Every structure is written in C-alpha cells, then in structure tokens.
Chain A
Amino acid sequence: MTLASTLSDSVSKFGVMIAAVAIFLAVVLVIFFLASRASGRLSRWLAIVVFLGPAVAMLLIGLVYPAIRTLWYSFHGESGLNWLGLANYKWIFTTERIVHEVLFNTLLWILVAPTVVTVLGLSLALVVDRLRGEAVYKSLIFVPMAVSFVGASIIWKFIYQYRDRNEPQIGLLNQAALALGWHHPPNWLLSKPLNTFLLMVILVWVQTGFAMVVLSAAIKAIPTDIVEAAEVDGARGARLLFSVKIPLIRSTLIVVLTTVMITTLKIFDIVRTMTGGNFGTQVLANEMYSQSFEQYNTGRGSALAVILFLGVLPLVGYNIVQLRRERGNR
C-alpha cells in the first residue's frame, strides 16, 4: 500500500466517522424538534421517553439481557444449546490446569498486586507532599496511568528480554542481573512462577500513581488541629502514623485497595500481550476470552465470566458498606 492510498483510506475512514456523528446528532435534533411540538400532558411523557428511552433501551439490550444470557449459557454446552446443568462449573473446579494455574494465579494477583500498589502509594503519599518539586514527582509517577496496558506491556517486555550471558544484552533486567554478578539468570518470562510476579510489576507500575494521588488528597484533608493535638499529646513518627493518620484515611485506603483489586481481577491485556497466557501465567479474564473466542466454548467461557462477576461482587459490596458506615459516623 502506498502513502497515497493510505492517505485516501484515512480520508474515507474519517468521512465515515464524521457522517456517523452528524447523522447521530441530526437524529437527536430532529426528535427534539418534533417532540417539543407536543403540548399538554403528552409533552411531559414524550420528554421522558425521548430523554431516557435511548439509555434504558441500550442498557437493557446491551447489558442486562446479555448478562442474563451469559448466566443461561453457563449452564449449557459449547454451542449454548444443550443443557448441561452445573457441568461447566464442575469442569472449572475439577480441571487441574484451571484450579492450579488459572484460579491460583488470579488469587495470587489479587492478593499481591493491590497490596503492593496500596502500600507503595501510601508510602509515597505520606512523604511526597513534604518535598520540593512535589508536582514533578507526582507527575512522573502518575504518567503510566495514561498509558494503555498494551503499551505498558511492550515497554516491560523489552525490559524482560532474555539473552544468553555471552551475547550482547538488550534487556535491562538481564543486564542488571549480570552486572550484579548473577551468572545464570533465568529466562525471565518463561520461568514459572517468577513470570507472574514480573507481570504484576506492570500493573504496579501503572496503578501506583493512582493510589498515590488519591491517598495524598486524603492525607491533605486531615484537619491540621487533629495532628497537632496528637503531637502535643506526645505522638511522634510511627505512632502518629499508625494511630492517628492511617485510621483517619481508612475508608480512602479501602476504596483504593478494592478499586485496584477489581482492576486486578479483570486483568486481561497484560497477560495477553506479555505471554498470551502461556508458561503458567494464565488468569481468569484471559481464560474466559480464550474459551469464548478461541476455543468457541460458549458454555465454559460464560461460566468463567460468571465466576469473575461473583468475584467482583463482594468487593463492590464491601466497599459500599464501608463507605456508608464511614459517612454515617460523620
């Protein structure tokens, strides 16, 4: 394809886009115009239908129906037609690879990665606002948040490049390991279970900025007089931190931890880009994708999606209860 044809291709794609947006807005305006001609009681009901109708219809067709349908599929076979009862769930919890690799790795992810993100974010938040150049540090640590998991994965895949020690090195990690005197470092991404932790580093790299910014805002919101009163009473250093500051930002800490946990539970892009789920790194969300769209086993894929949903549910529930309680206390 030549530059000229790429260009003309782009022009026609942008044409499609502009046309789509223009048609969409035109339809909305025409409906507005027509509906506003109505009068009396009809006009109120027409307004409700026009304003609320599209959102409700899209959510019903695109989210509510599919979610129910997925639940239904999870009790059916590959094509989604023959009833299997709980066989798909039984398959999930009795298949060696699913239990010992997929579920185990997912559990490992949600136990380790969110904890590291929160602890690191909190440590940074506690000290960063006392430094000169706070904004610069914050920005540098926050930037990865704007990077896609795919982009982040490529960045880190390059860092994890393995080469034999006799060859010239291009991966920073291997180079660092050799320079520190580790003569036979492992082939990083192929070594189980090390590789799962290396993938977690990427999530930590992306999410720590978020945790830091949110926790830093919470710490700054602690009333100065409370901290001063504690200091007058003799609280210093660790005591001040663990008995005064952390309890005061507890609910924000929980929000950050559960938020990162939910992201982690659904982690897909990193595993897909880095290893494709090979070498013992598979997780729930990627297994769901490959069962549904590569193995074309709708039943198993759907059952995995339901498990994912059930995993997210208590996190969300806990979060809400905590926040409600916290607010009630104020």
Chain B
Amino acid sequence: MTSAEAVEYLATEKPATAERRGPVSRNRRGRFSGPLATMFVLAVAIFWTIPTFGLLITSIRPQGDVANTGWWTFFEHPSFTLSNYNTVLFVSGFGAEGGLMPYVVNSLVICIPATIFPLVIASMAAYCLSWVRFRGSDTIFFIVFALQVVPIQMALVPLLKIFTSIPGAGGTYVPVWIAHTIFALPLATFLLHNFINQLPGEVMEAALVDGATHFRIFRSIVLPLAAPALASFAIFQFLWVWNDLLVALTFTGGSDEVAPVTQRLAQLSGGFGSHWEVTTAGAFVSIVIPVVVFFSLQRYFVRGLLAGSVKG
C-alpha cells in the first residue's frame, strides 16, 4: 500500500518541474549557489562514482597486478587486458563449468518471461476492475492492492512446498517465473489500474455499442493506449527480477542449471582468497545490463522505480 500511495502522490508532483524554470528561479539559482554547496555535491558525486570506477579499472588489469597492487596505481603503471572478461564469461573454473556466461543466459531467460507474464495477467485484471465493473469489484481491487504489505518472506516456504509437490517442476525455470509473476501482481495491477482507469470512457462505450466484445476492446483499444504505463512497469519489473537474489535462491532449488547471475556472484564473492580480477569482471558484467537499460530508458525507468522501490 505504501508504494502505491507513494506513486500516486509522486506522480501528481511531476509536472511542476518544468513550469518553475522562470526568470525568478534562475535569479534564485545565482543568489544561492555558494562554493560550499558546489563542493558538497561534487564531493558526494565523486564519492558515489569511485566504487564503480575502481571496479571497472580492476576488471581490466592483469591478474598479478590486481593481487599485488591497488587499482589506484593503475594510472602510474597502466597495463590493460580483457582476459578477465574472457575468463569470467567463458572459461570453466571456480566451481562452475563454462564460466559466467550460462548464468547471464539464465538471468535473461528468467527475466523476459517473468516480465511478460505479470504484465499480461495484471493488465487483464486492471482492465476488468476498471471497465467491466461488477458488484464487489471495488473490494477485489482493494484486496489486491492491500496485498502489497505482505513481504515475500511470508510466502516463500509454503509456495516452495507447492512447487516441490508438483513432479517435474524442480530444477526448471517454471517455479522462478511463476514466483516472480505472483509477487509482481499486486503492484502491477494497482499501477496499471490507475492508468487504464483514466482512459476516455466514451471510446470504450462507443465500441461496446458497436458490438465489440471486451476482448476486442482490450486488445485493440486498451493495450495500445496503455503502452506508456506498460513500458514503465516492464522496465521496472525487468530490473527488479534481474537484480533479485532472494526469489532466485529459493526457487531455483540450488540448481546451477537455472541459477541467475546474481546467485552465482553471491557464491563467488563468498569464497575466500577470491580472485578479485575475475569477481570484479563478473560484477561488472552483471551491472552493465541494468545500467544500460537505465540510461537508455531513463524517462520510463524513474517512474517505474518510484513506483516499485518498496516492492518485495
């Protein structure tokens, strides 16, 4: 519920940003920007960037250098290699066959259906609760929305028991897909409902009068019009699943066959006497995809993130 309220609240605040850039605010900008403020923001920005920067530098240094010198000495004695990436992605070792590449593949194979399934199911439910009203539909909507307060931890053990009772489900992607889908539904239904509810009612009514079924209206009117909301939820859900560890650990049943990259990295980082040049390269690989998604789709992403940052 928190997240839902927050999203709705925050969404209403957005437009003000652009409007206020009048001459007054420019004037204020000049008056207040002391050197202290600049230094503070600059210091935080640098402090926030150094960790990732150090990771990147370490991942491109030769093994011997990484083990014996700090990454900051790279600038005095630069030596550059891509072999860590080759090792971590493709070479067997560190208790895994075929390096990290199979796990990256697993992450993608988990993420894409775990984004599509809840998107379809939640948009159907959202349409029904907005436009095929019936007695009790408001109550159902409220319950779905209220289910956001249930932490994933409350559902893990019984849900896992359900999956293990189904023969053949263990060690496949199916439990992970379904678990992610279920955990996404309350937030997804709520967000999409908010959007779909706002669509112009005359269009739907006209279509109904013309004899279109709800299924036709959903496919040819609602889905195209709701595209922005669908996109922002899809991006958020993709990143959430990509970065998840808890659901993966629980529902892959410890099987390396289907484990995502986060699970493998958590394992790698647990080992003592770690090979930092390989671990850092691996971490960088896992970071690249979400960061690229973030930068290319920032507009939708920020909305989705505000919406779902309390999920889970």
Q: Given known contacts A36-B213, A141-B45, is B266 in contact with A150 (CB within 8 Å)?
A: yes
- A:244-273 near B, CB below 8 Å: 251-252, 255, 258-259, 262-263, 266, 268-269, 272-273
B269 and A154 contacting across the interface, CB-CB below 8 Å:
yes
- Give the distance to chain B from A250, nearest Cβ to Cβ, in Å: 12
In the complex, what distance in Å separates the CA atom of A286 from the CA atom of B127? 38
Report the Cα distance A172→B55, complex, angstroms. 11
Contact across chains for A148 and B286 when beta carbons are under 8 A apart: yes
Expressed in whole angstroms, the minimum distance between the Cβ of B192 and any Cβ of chain A is: 11
Contacts of B108 in A (CB 8 A): 14, 17
Whether B287 is near chain A, meaning CB under 8 Å from some CB there, is: yes
By the criterion CB–CB under 8 Å, are B17 and A146 in contact?
no
Q: Are A51 and B214 in contact (CB under 8 A)?
A: yes
* Alpha-carbon distance A213/B306, docked complex (angstroms): 9
Given A51-B132, A56-B140, A217 and B280 touching (CB < 8 A)?
no
Q: Does more than half of chain B's interface fall in helix, strand or loop, or is it mixed?
A: helix
| Cross-chain contact B156 with A292 (CB below 8 angstroms) | yes
Tell me the complex Cα distance, A55–B121, Å: 6
Segment of A21-29, A87-95, A99-107, A180-188 in the binding face: A21-29
Complexed CA–CA distance, A131 and B7 (Å): 27
Given the complex of chains A and B, what is the CA–CA distance between A56 and B159 in angstroms?
Answer: 16
Q: How many Å lie between the Cα of A136 and that of B295 in the bound state?
A: 12
A62:B159 contact, CB within 8 angstroms: yes
Q: Which of A25, A139, A268 contacts B245 (CB 8 A)?
A: A268
Given A70-B155, A320-B5, A170-B69 contact (CB < 8 Å): yes
Q: How far is the CB of A136 from chain B (nearest CB, A)?
A: 8
Q: Mark A53-92, 1 if CB is under 8 A from B, else 0.
A: 0111011011111110110010000000000000000000
Tell me whether B2 and A55 are in contact (CB under 8 A).
Answer: no
Q: How far is the CA of A258 from the CA of B102 in the complex (A)?
A: 38
Q: What sequence of 0s and 1s flags, for each residue 44-76 of chain B, a beta carbon within 8 Å of any chain A beta carbon? A: 110011111011001000000011111110000
CB contacts under 8 Å to A, within B275-301, are 276, 279-280, 282-283, 286-287, 290-291, 293-295, 301
Complex CA gap A10/B104 in Å reads 10
Interface residue B218 (Cβ < 8 Å from any Cβ of A): yes
Least distance between B203 CB and chain A CB atoms (Å): 17
From B173, B218, B266, B280, give the contact of A51 (CB < 8 A): B218
Which of A20, A47, A54, A159 has a CB less than 8 Å from the CB of B177?
Answer: A20
Contact B41 A3 (CB under 8 A): no
Interface residues of B in 228-256 (CB under 8 A from A): 239, 242-246, 249-250
How far is A146 from B33 in the complex, measured between Cα atoms in Å?
A: 29
Please measure, in the bound complex, the distance between the C-alpha atom of A262 and the C-alpha atom of B218, giving whole angstroms. 35
Contact B182 A220 (CB under 8 A): no
B301 to chain A, nearest CB (A): 8
Chain B residues with CB below 8 A from A48, complex form? 128, 132, 134
A243, CB-defined interface residue at 8 Å: no
In the complex the two chains form, is A148's CB within 8 Å of B262's CB? yes
- B20 in contact (CB, < 8 A): yes
Chain B interface residue count: which class?
35 or more
Across the interface, name the chain A residue whose C-beta is closest to B116: A21
Contacts of A263 on B, CB cut-off 8 Å?
A: 309-310, 312
Chain A residue, CB-CB nearest to B42: A137
Is the Cβ of A305 less than 8 Å from the Cβ of B156? yes
A316 at the interface (CB under 8 A from B): yes
A16 to B173, CA, bound (A): 9
Knowing A24-B120, A52-B140, A148-B286, the reply to whether A169 touches B70 (Cβ < 8 A) is: yes
Name A's B-contacting residues (CB within 8 A).
1, 3, 5-6, 9-10, 13-14, 16-17, 20-21, 24-25, 28, 32-33, 35-36, 43-44, 47-48, 50-52, 54-56, 58-59, 61-67, 69-70, 73, 120, 123-124, 127-131, 136-137, 139-141, 143-151, 153-159, 161, 168-172, 175, 205, 208-210, 213-214, 217-218, 220-221, 224, 228, 251-252, 255, 258-259, 262-263, 266, 268-269, 272-273, 276, 285, 288-289, 292-293, 298, 301-302, 304-306, 308-309, 312-313, 315-316, 319-320, 323, 327
Q: Add 6 more A-B contacts to A48-B128, A158-B276, A305-B156 (CB < 8 A).
A: A150-B245, A155-B51, A210-B305, A218-B13, A298-B157, A309-B151
Q: Which 5 residue pairs are nearest across A and B when measured between Cβ atoms? A: A148-B243, A62-B182, A51-B128, A66-B158, A55-B125
List 25 A-B pairs, Cβ < 8 Å: A24-B120, A28-B120, A44-B132, A54-B125, A55-B121, A70-B155, A130-B28, A131-B41, A136-B45, A140-B45, A150-B262, A154-B282, A158-B279, A170-B70, A214-B306, A255-B9, A258-B2, A273-B266, A273-B270, A285-B153, A304-B153, A309-B151, A309-B153, A309-B154, A323-B9
